[in-house]
Structure 1
Amino acid sequence: MISKEYTILAPEGIHARPATALVRLVKKFKSGISLKKGDKTIQLNSMLNILALSTKGGDLISILIDGEDEAEAASAMDIFFNEHLPNL
């Protein structure tokens, strides 16, 4: 299992457009990928799950990845949260 922490850099947080992009990205991997904010943990397989967390800019989140391709998934999450999310 791989766990990574990120600070949301996009001022708008994770709204519909990045949530959709994140779900599409997660579906490329066999590993189970979940997002934790505070005491809530959700599976990243549904845009509604992501939007329900109301993640805003500056929030600290954790991504939990468990499965056979977790290293590749972790690398893709790094790129998404550090490079793509601030531009969506």
Structure 2
Amino acid sequence: MSQEFTFTVSDPEGMHARPAGLLVAKAQEYQSSIIVTRDGKPVDAKRIFGVMGLGVKQGDEVTVKVQGNDEVKAAAEFEQFLKENL
């Protein structure tokens, strides 16, 4: 089983270096794999170059899929993190 949700980026600067770094650090707190997908391109949320490579801008929609031992907790906390930081 996995957890999945969609998030629309509201930060005027999109997912630039600072929030991308924070996102990666947050993803690394969990055992579960966290995959962020934009326009059909999936990347590992624990890899800074993958996250930055998505080129997420304000208004873009990303899908987050969380799978693993702590997926319920990870998905809830990761979604809250996105709402507070992006």
Q: TM-score range by the shorter chain?
A: over 0.9
Q: Equivalents in 2 of 1:23, 1:10: separation in Å?
A: 17
How far the C-alpha of 1:84 sits from its partner, in A, is 2.2
- 2:48 is aligned to 47
Identity of aligned residues (%): 31
- CA RMSD after TM alignment: 0.8
TM-score, scaled to structure 1: 0.92
- 1:18 is aligned to 19
Q: Which runs of 4+ in 1 moved over 2 A?
A: none
How far the C-alpha of 1:9 sits from its partner, in A, is 0.9
TM-score, scaled to structure 2: 0.94
Q: Equivalents in 2 of 1:44, 1:83: separation in Å?
A: 17
How far the C-alpha of 1:46 sits from its partner, in A, is 1.3
1:27-66 maps to which residues of 2 (within 5 A)?
Answer: 27-66=28-67
Structure 1: 5+ residue runs without aligned partners? none
- 2:72 is aligned to 71
SS in 2 for 1:51: helix
Structure 2: 5+ residue runs without aligned partners? none
SS in 1 for 2:15: coil
Q: Equivalents in 2 of 1:39, 1:78: separation in Å?
A: 19
Number of aligned residue pairs:
85
Supply the AA of the counterpart residue of 1:70.
E
